[in-house]
């Protein structure tokens, strides 16, 4: 379900390494590896619904924090 996919997206982003920020494409690829077929646009929509910034914004935030 969409709730499960949102949970997985949130989990992946929380565990990402500051030197390897995941793009929406990367997340979609990782979900496909788990046999969850989700388009990049859907990943972006779910990420935004969870109030998670884009990979570029997260990269900047983690660079400033680190």
Tell whether the model's pLDDT for residue 10 goes beyond 90. Answer: yes
User: Can you tell me the mean pLDDT for 25-48?
Assistant: 97
CA distance 15 to 26: 14
Contact in structure between 46 and 5 (CB atoms under 8 Å) = yes
CA dihedral 38, 39, 40, 43 (to 10 degrees): -40
Tell whether the model's pLDDT for residue 13 goes beyond 90. Answer: yes
Between 18 and 51, where is the model more confident? Answer: 51
């Amino acid at each position: 379900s969409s709730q499960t996919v949102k949970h997985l997206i949130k989990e992946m982003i929380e565990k990402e390494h500051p030197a390897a920020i995941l793009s929406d494409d990367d997340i979609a690829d990782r979900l496909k590896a788990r046999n969850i077929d989700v388009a990049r646009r859907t990943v972006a929509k779910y990420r935004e619904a969870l109030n998670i910034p884009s990979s570029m914004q997260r990269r900047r935030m983690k660079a400033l924090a680190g």
